[in-house]
C-alpha cells in the first residue's frame, strides 16, 4: 500500500506527495479506509489521457490521484462543503470541481470512465450528511448515459445491494483493511 497517514487530532490525509485537508462535514477518506484503499487501487491503473468523472469526490483524494496520472478529471459532490474542500485541495491540479446532485453537474457531457466511492452504510446508522438514499438506484439507471465504463467501490459484505438496485457489475478486486473489505466493481456501457 502507498503511504498515507491520518492523525486523530488532524483532519489531514497524506497520500503520495499530496496532503488533503478534510474540512468539517466532509467524508474522511480514511474512515473504514475506503477512500485510501480505493485510491491505492486506482493508482495502479493507467489513466493518461482518459476523461474521467468522479461522482462524490469528498476532499478530492481520488480525483487527485487520477489527475496526477494524466487523466482529465471533473470531480463533483452534492455537498457544498465537500466541493469547496476538494477545490482547495486540488487548486494546483487540472481537476475541475463542480457542486451538484449526482449527474446534474455533467449534464450533456460524456466521459471514458465514471469513478465513485458511493455513500453507503448498510445495516448501520449513516451520518445524515452523507446519506443519499436513492443515490445507488439513480446511478445504476443513469451512468451508461454519461460514461463508457464504471468503476465503483463498495463493501463486499453488502455487495448484493448493487444487484438489487439494478447494476450489472463484475467484481474485479477485493481490498482488505482492518475494517470491512472493500470490493471494486466494473461495468462497461453496452
Ligand atoms: C463515501 S464518500 C466518498 C468520498 C471520496 N470520494 C472518498 O473516496 O474519500 C461519498 C461522497 O458522495 C457524496 N454524495 C452523497 N450523495 C451524493 C449525490 N447525490 N450526488 C453527488 N455526491 C453525493 C458525499 O457528499 C460524499 O462526499
Structure confidence by residue, pLDDT tens digits, 65-113: 999 999 999 999 999 999 999 999 999 999 999 999 999 999 999 999 9
pLDDT at 134: 85
Q: Is the CB of 78 under 6 A from ligand 1?
A: yes
Q: How far is the CA of 17 from the centre of ligand 1 (A)?
A: 23
Tens of pLDDT, residue by residue over 124-144, are: 544 444 556 688 999 999 999
Domain count for the chain, please give it: 1
Q: What is the CATH number of the domain that holds 140?
A: 3.40.50.150
Looking at residue 177, its pLDDT comes to: 72
**Distance between CA 161 and CA 54 in Å, rounded?**
21
Residue 190 and residue 188: Cα distance in Å, rounded? Answer: 6
Choosing from 43, 78, 116, 138 the residue with most ligand 1 atoms within 8 A of its CB, the one to mutate for a pocket test is 78
* Residue 166 per-residue DSSP state: T
Answering whether pTM is above 0.95, one says no
**Domain, as residue range, for 43:** 4-188
Q: Give the pLDDT confidence of 4-38 residue by residue, as tens digits.
A: 333 343 489 999 999 999 999 898 898 767 899 99
Query: Which residue's CA is minimally distant from atom 11 of ligand 1?
Result: 56
49: Cβ–Cβ under 8 A, 6 or more apart, which residues?
70, 71, 72
The three three-digit cell numbers of residue 166, written as one number: 439494478
Ligand 1 center from residue 84 Cα (angstroms): 13
Amino acid at each position: 500500500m502507498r503511504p498515507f497517514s491520518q492523525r486523530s487530532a488532524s483532519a489531514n490525509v497524506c497520500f503520495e506527495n499530496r496532503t488533503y485537508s478534510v474540512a468539517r462535514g466532509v467524508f474522511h477518506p480514511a474512515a473504514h479506509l475506503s477512500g485510501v484503499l480505493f485510491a491505492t487501487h486506482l493508482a495502479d491503473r493507467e489513466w493518461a489521457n482518459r476523461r474521467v468523472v468522479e461522482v462524490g469526490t469528498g476532499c478530492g483524494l481520488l480525483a487527485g490521484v487520477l489527475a496526477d496520472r494524466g487523466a482529465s478529471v471533473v470531480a463533483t459532490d452534492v455537498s457544498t462543503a465537500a466541493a469547496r474542500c476538494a477545490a482547495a485541495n486540488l487548486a494546483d491540479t487540472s481537476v475541475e470541481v463542480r457542486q451538484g446532485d449526482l449527474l446534474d453537474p455533467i449534464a450533456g457531457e460524456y466521459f471514458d470512465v465514471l469513478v465513485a466511492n458511493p455513500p453507503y452504510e448498510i445495516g448501520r446508522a449513516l451520518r445524515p450528511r452523507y446519506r443519499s438514499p436513492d443515490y445507488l438506484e439513480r446511478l445504476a439507471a443513469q451512468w451508461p448515459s454519461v460514461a463508457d465504463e464504471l468503476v465503483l467501490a463498495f463493501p463486499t459484505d453488502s455487495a448484493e445491494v448493487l444487484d438489487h438496485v439494478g447494476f450489472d457489475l463484475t467484481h474485479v478486486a477485493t481490498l482488505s483493511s482492518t475494517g470491512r473489505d472493500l470490493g471494486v466493481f466494473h461495468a462497461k456501457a453496452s
